[in-house]
Amino acid sequence: MVQAVLFEVEDNVAVLTIKSPPVNALSHAVRSGIVDGLDRALGDDDVKAVVLIGGGRTFPAGADIREFGHPVQDPWLPEVCNRLEMASKPVVAAVHGTALGGGFEVVLAAHYRIADKDARFGLPEVTLGILPGAGGTQRAPRLAGAKFALDMMLTGRPVPVTAPGAKVFFDAVVDGDLRKEAVAFAQNLISEGKGPRRTRDQRIGFEDPHAYQNEVTNRYRMVARQQEYAPEQIIRCVEAAALLPFDQGLAFERSSFQDCLETSQSAALRHAFFAERRAGKFPELKTGQARELNTIGVIGAGGLAASVAVICLQEGWHVVAATTTVRAAEHAASEISKLLGGAVMRKHMTQTEADEALARFTTASDLVALSEADMILDCTIRPPSAKRDVFTQLDAIAKEGAVLVDAGAHSKVNLLAQATGAPGDVVALHLYAPLRISKVAEIVPGGNTSEDTVATVISFLRKLDKFPVRAKNEQIGPRILAAYRLAADYIVEAGGTPYLVDQAMRGFGMNLGPYQALDYEGFEASLSAQGSACRASHQPDFVGRLQAAGRNGARSGKGFYLYEGKPASVQQDPEVIELIRAYREENGIDPRGFSEEAIRYRCLAAMANEGARLLREGVARRPSDIDTVMIHAFGFPRWQGGPMKAADNAGLLHMKVELERFAREEPKFWTPDRIFDHLAKNGKVFDDLNTQ
């Protein structure tokens, strides 16, 4: 069996190298290996100091998340950290890559810490619905105070070792051979007679108790309205760090960690973590080779084209933006330079970076300018026949091997592929707005799309920090969104108010309620994009009544809400209630009431049912792919795990029975897909379909 921790002695220094690819997660084998190596080092009179270092690409990136939810095998990570800290010989942690979560807690427990200049560290447990459970909440504030420690723990963001404030954790940041530097550092300690320096004894972070407590109080206030459980527990632990003796603080942390771990929120967040990674496992990656990308071509003068051009420029690619008229080309150029200016203003990039980006950018009023592009994204929305014409033109213009992408996403990719002589190079891609923020994109390969083309698009998306999700023939997100909105419309049509629906769904954790979202998108844009994406025999049309009354969404000043003043104050409007009441009356609908609970259940059931249909039709490969899309494209609460995970939690048998009950009102839409029956009969849930 390969050893998870390698023990070597180099000039009186024991070097423990963790070798557990890919990210050296602190599995049972690694934890045991560290403890065994430490015991061996402490028992060897020739060893005077210990260096702990990660092999491969990183220092441990955390506890092994796959072990959560299973009985813990000794030694626990807190015990490993305590043993390191209490060691009688100095222990030096040498950090490269990303020391995250439990990995950084090991670093904090070491007596001395040195890091490679490109290393990053952090405590991202909150993103998994838990808290640092191996002493991190007690040790980090002892060194860095409440502000820095809470920033790390509440945002979960990794921090570069060179960032302001990071110095408190590291004795040296080095550029060169980390292992060599770490051994030299340890030898220095030996020659200077320096022994262990235990973080548990440090109080530098508590120097200003008032500032510490103020920070804690402010953070309680900031998380008070959040629905997530872990953030408040993190603050409690950091508060306890300053109030309790170290060992009691550790015990408090341990019990809070256990509480967090047992929540359904944590289970959902861990599901989301693995769902995002699973989504990127495309069969094409087994043999497909990503082609090199230097120049990206973008077709279109609209918002999508401009955003695509800007994120590609920010990534360092050359971009050619091509349109078909001089006017459109000028418009595209001005939009792109406006967006870059905005990015500088918002400090997403410096002025120098924006200038360099502009220097890599050209615009043209003729598609011929795209002849040097390695990938061309058509970001226009036009009728299929016009799209085909564009792809036929591109076939003649594009260089050999250029990947041709339909990013307008309303055409059938196979039709476009047939319009070219290289169907293997053609693929569709569905990007979500706002492009800079949304972390997901759907790749829709055609029947002949080559493995290299898919691999190239995946590599393109990864560079843009987006999770690729595979879809077949059509996109996943719009179908689920349409089902969600239709369920909401049925509720409003039957007697609920849009305001109650919004409130209920915000209570579920959605960023915005469906009607707020519709207001911000604008009725026209949103309704034309939505069409009748899901099966239903009737579509309520009270939105049409609102439009007829001059309401078109937030930009027009009136939608479901009133937007008055600058900045706009958003208010409910009795006129909307009246318009909907009149609509019901004309349609002979006797209104009935809905509880928030019932609204949430119907909306979730509609999404899960549409998800089940997408799975059966083969549009989506796995339930967890649907979850990833909904979390990152439409603000579905990550801590609910996505609609399919949330449906599992709600109970599939119960959901099937409820769907059957709703189906008496609208059979075509509500009748449960037969997957519900199949899973329920076999005692299974959607998660059981989440194969690699």
Binding residues for ligand CAA (CB under 6 A): 22-23, 25, 61-66, 77, 98, 100-102, 105, 124-125, 128, 130, 132-134, 136, 277
Output 128 or 604, the one with its CB closest to ligand CAA.
Answer: 128
Catalytic (active site) residue 575: no
Strands 375-378 and 403-406: parallel
Nearest CA to 472 out of 608, 643, 607, 621 is that of 621
- On the CB side of 481, CA atoms within 13 Å amount to 24
Minimum CB separation of residue 449 from ligand CAA in Å reads 23
Give the shortest CB-691-to-ligand CAA separation in angstroms. 13
CB of 564 to ligand CAA, least distance (A): 44
Closer to ligand CAA at the Cβ: 268 or 604?
268
Whichever of 20 and 420 has its CB closer to ligand CAA, that residue is: 20
d(CA 198, CA 557): 61
CA distance to 4, 63, 270, 519, 588, per residue, from 572 (Å): 60, 47, 37, 12, 25
Residue with tokens 């990534």: 315
Report yes or no: 304 and 336 within 8 Å, Cβ to Cβ.
no
Q: Which is nearer to ligand CAA, 166 or 313 (CB)?
A: 166
Least separation in angstroms between residue 132's CB and ligand CAA is: 4
Give the contacts of 114 (CB within 8 A, at least 6 positions apart).
92, 93, 94, 95, 170, 171, 172, 173, 174, 178, 181, 182, 185
Kindly report the number of other CB atoms within 10 A of residue 575's CB atom.
13
Which residue among 85, 125, 181, 284 is the active-site one?
A: 125
Structure tokens that stand for 557 in this block:
């000043």
Task: Phi first, then psi: give them for residue 443, nearest 5 degrees.
Answer: -100, 130
Nearer to ligand CAA, 98 or 539 (CB): 98
Rank residues 124 and 477 by Cβ distance to ligand CAA and give the closer one: 124
What is the identity of the amino acid at 651? G
Residue with tokens 């799975």: 615
Q: How far is the CB of 622 from ligand CAA (least distance, A)?
A: 13
SS3 readout for 247-267 = HHHHHHHHHHHHHHHCCHHHH
66 or 117: CB nearest ligand CAA = 66
* Helices of type H across 196-283: 209-223, 230-243, 246-261, 264-279
Structure tokens at 41: 């080092």
CB of residue 78 vs ligand CAA: minimum separation in angstroms?
8
Residues 631-649: b if buried by 16+ CB within 10 A, e if exposed: bbbbebbbbbbbbbbbbbb
Taking residue 70's Cβ as centre, other Cβ atoms within 10 Å add up to: 9
CB of 552 to ligand CAA, least distance (A): 42
CB proximity list for 551: less than 8 A, separation 6 or greater: 523, 558, 559, 560, 576
Nearer to ligand CAA, 76 or 220 (CB): 76
The one catalytic residue in 8, 10, 79, 105 is: 105
Residue type, position 68, single letter = F
Shortest CB 249 distance to ligand CAA, Å: 15
Minimal distance in Å, beta carbon 342 to ligand CAA? Answer: 28
In 3D space, the residue among 484, 483, 488 whose CA is nearest the CA of residue 499 turns out to be 488
Q: How far is the CB of 248 from ligand CAA (least distance, A)?
A: 19
Question: Is residue 585 flagged as an active site residue?
Answer: no
Beta bridge partners, 91, equal 50
Strand 98-100 with 120-122, pairing: parallel
- For the beta carbon of residue 330, count every other beta carbon within 10 angstroms: 14
Give the residue with the Cβ less far from ligand CAA, 105 or 474. 105
Q: Are 298 and 320 in contact (CB under 8 A)?
A: yes
Using CA atoms, how far apart are residues 464 and 458, in angstroms rounded to an integer?
10
- 65/94 with CB nearer ligand CAA: 65
Residue 44, exposed/middle/buried by CB under 10 A (0-12, 13-18, 19+)? middle
Shortest Å distance, C-beta 689 to ligand CAA: 18
Tokens of 313: 């420029």
Q: Which is nearer to ligand CAA, 107 or 377 (CB)?
A: 107
Exposed/middle/buried for 596, CB within 10 Å: 0-12, 13-18, 19+?
A: middle
Supply the residues annotated as catalytic.
105, 125
